[in-house]
Structure 1
């Protein structure tokens, strides 16, 4: 639900704007209102679970997310919808890290590997599923409710999950609440400010034509990230409890995994965003057809993400570079299939399926390999870190490749399917280059 909701609203935006008489800035904040608190609070949510109990915090986040989804579906104005979307994002940030921490603490050996594989498959498939589900729900116009089911669909699912979670999730350590005073508040403030200063211009800068404040914000975020790193190292040396334990970053393979996850999710986010712009704006697809276009990517991503661990052992070492290489070839093939401004038929859907396979092989083995050997006591730090990296990668991909697409359209000085396909082809080649960099990183052996 959390990953779907980052994307499900995309195809509903035109309908929301028409019904609520929203401005362009207001619609942008409907989308960004979820992404910003979600990105900022992920690491804090992971730490809260470690301190207060993962079961307790997960159910609290799920309840907040479900209630906010209901409020979004009932919103009567743009301001209300933006506010409830922010609460929904905060609920996701509290809910999501507990899943990975619970896996780390309650599964071992092959069982942990299988659970991590399932987690990573669901995590990255959510983006494409969101596009598909959004198109279906908006076009269905259930009971004349227009765009509202894209939020209301979470309510029955959330209620069922709350009931099931209360029964089946492992009980928390009774001593966990006693450790709540160890929350690193200065570190939390520094990290929250750094991530906010990074995500806000990434989300809003493109629409505002990258004004000076957006670049100053990005520069300030780099400074605050450096200060956060210095402060956390100092806290650890003094025997304190930093928000992110430095040993997690020094753990074999984590640094390389951060780069690979960032690259894979940047390609994922950028690919979905620019292709949506092209097929809805350039080709004039309806919300339903636009959503269904991504079905091959979502289905194949899920299938590969769930089965790659059962493939021959001799293949396992090359899955990551092969996945990035397949992604590079297939995103370029999507651009070539659509280069003439017309529909491409089977060639397009075959390339979209290959994108799903390539991204699954790039992302799932990377995440599973990085976390399989992390110590249980570091589960919260690792889960928050990698979930944040995945989300920031999506945002950076949307910002970078979306800007490239729109700037190319503007430079061509014309409108229409052919012009849009030209801009799309440039973006797809840029996405292919990013995936190729990931393929090179996939050849690097992680430090023992």
Structure 2
């Protein structure tokens, strides 16, 4: 459900925008608001699980997520919807880290690998459900509610999970931390991270429509100043024996730094790709929400299939799979831009292209995630889980803000038409190719940096 709600709104975006008379910036904030709260609070959510018990925090987060989903479905204005999406993201931030923490604490060896494979498959299923279910619900227009069922669908599903959760999770998630865990809630770090994200997101999303006023540039400049302040604070806190949000011990584990860079890049291009394809198909080509959602199914299904089967490939290939995945993704984005550049819908080739992107993004993501989590000590499991899931959400947030701004800025320069939208998609696909190539280059760059410091190379 947490991942589904990241993607399902993309399908409903055009209907939501028309019904609530939302601006382009308002629409981006509806999508990004969920991810802002989610990203800021994930590490704190992981530590609350270690302190209070993973199942307790999971169920509390689930209850908040259900209530916020209901409120989103009943919202009557863009401002309300943005506020309720922030609450929904807070619930998701309490739920999701408990999953990876429990995998780390419950499984070892090959069993952990299988559990992580199942986790990756669920990511793919969640993304697929977000695209397809969103299309079905919007096209069906249940009870004349339009886009609202994309949020309300969480309520009955969540209530069932809330009832079954205590029985399914049992005592495994009830361990509580002591005084050390109570001191581990880095509230100043949380405030700094939240400020950095807001100072980045708000001007990127709102600045374009406001003509890039002075306050937007001032916010971005302040964000650039606070990033090293946050980093320095985290280092000093660790030296004093505290528990910073981003633990240096976790970052020093083999493969974790590379995983942070590559997961960020993959999630950024993924979220930007999904958003602009949905906007192009529905607003540019006037396709139905159902057809637009269905077009993304090959991407999500192949992501899940590859995520559960990449370990079957020869072991000697594994260190290079992530780089290969980014290159496949880059090729698929370039192909997509060329395929739809003439204002057509691409026909059957669109689905082939979407499948290739799913293969590429899964290979880019899953091997680095598995390697990073396998290298982290169990005592650092909550921090590693929070860090990597936070990185993923920061990538999603940045992708929506940056690639969404590229598409909307290009599309709205002239009179809206299929040709204008196709041109905007082509420009955005070029930006997606660049993002993918940065992810591919991260491996060799990381290897050079580690060799310069006399450390083993994490490919």
Taking structure 2 as the reference length, the TM-score comes to 0.90
Q: 1:429–1:18: structure 2 CA closer, same or farther, 3 Å change rule?
A: closer
Matched, 1:107 2:114: no
Deviates more, 1:15-24 or 1:193-202: 15-24
2:431 aligned with 1:434, yes or no? no
- Is the contact made by 2:298 and 2:358 (CA closer than 8 Å) also made in structure 1? yes
- Secondary structure, aligned partner of 1:281: helix
Corresponding residue of 2:69:
69
**Counterpart in the other structure of 1:278:** 280
Q: Does 1:403 align with 2:419?
A: no
Does the CA contact (< 8 Å) of 1:103 and 1:112 recur in 2?
A: yes
Aligned partners of 2:336 and 2:350 also within 8 Å:
yes
Aligned to 1:419: 420
Which of residues 314, 317, 320 in structure 2 aligns to 1:318? 320
Contact 1:53 1:176 in 2 (8 A): no
Cα deviation for residue 77 of structure 1 reads 4.4
- 2:214 is matched with 212
251 and 287 in structure 1: CA distance in 2 versus 1, 3 angstrom threshold = same
Matched, 1:93 2:93: yes
User: 1:45-194 residue pairs with structure 2 within 5 A?
Assistant: 45-123=45-123, 126-127=126-127, 129-169=129-169, 170-176=172-178, 179-194=181-196
- In 2: Cα distance, 1:208 partner to 1:381 partner: 39
2:337 aligned residue:
335
Structure 1: tracts of 5 or more residues without a match: none
Equivalent residue for 1:264? 266
Q: Quick one: structure 1 residues 278 and 171, their matched pair in 2 at CA, closer, same or farther if it must change by over 3 Å?
A: closer
Aligned residue in 1 for 2:368: 366
Quote the offset at 1:112 in angstroms: 1.2
Against the structure 1 CA distance between its residues 270 and 26, is the aligned structure 2 distance closer, same or farther, given a 3 Å change threshold?
Answer: closer
Going from structure 1 to structure 2, the CA distance change for 1:362 and 1:44 (only over 3 Å counts) comes to: same
**How far apart are the structure 1 equivalents of 2:24 and 2:316?**
52
SS in 2 for 1:255: helix
Shift of 1:297: 0.8
Aligned pairs for 1:302-317 within 5 A: 302-317=304-319
What's 2:242 paired with?
240
Once the two structures are superposed, residues 57-81 of structure 1 have per-residue CA deviations (whole angstroms, 9 ceiling, x without a partner) of: 1111111101211222233444443
Q: Distance in 2 between matches of 1:35 and 1:174?
A: 28
| CA distance in 2: counterparts of 1:218 and 1:43, whole angstroms | 24
Q: Which whole-Å CA distance do the structure 2 matches of 1:64 and 1:233 have between them?
A: 33
Deviations 1:91-115 (A, max 9, x none): 0111111111111111111111222
Query: 1:364-403 counterparts in 2 under 5 A?
Result: 364-403=366-405
Q: Which has the higher mean CA deviation after the structures are superposed, 422-431 or 319-328? A: 422-431
Tell me, in whole angstroms, the C-alpha distance in 2 between the residues paired with 1:21 and 1:333.
Answer: 34
Which is worse superposed, 367-376 or 183-192? 183-192
Q: How many residues are paired up?
A: 447
Q: Is the contact made by 2:58 and 2:98 (CA closer than 8 Å) also made in structure 1?
A: yes
Using a 3 Å threshold, how does the CA distance of structure 1 residues 28 and 191 change in structure 2: closer, same or farther? closer
Cα distance in 1 between the residues matched to 2:229 and 2:161: 40
Taking a change above 3 Å as real, the CA distance of residues 364 and 50 of structure 1, as seen in their structure-2 partners, is same
Contact 1:197/1:218 (8 A) holds in 2: yes
Q: Secondary structure at the match of 1:261?
A: helix
1:197 and 2:199 correspond:
yes
Unpaired segments of 5 or more residues in structure 2?
none
RMSD: 2.4
Paired with 2:206 and 2:299, the residues of 1 have a C-alpha distance of 27
Q: 1:23 to 1:356 in 2, by over 3 A?
A: closer
**Shift in CA distance, 181/401, structure 1 to aligned 2, threshold 3 Å:** closer
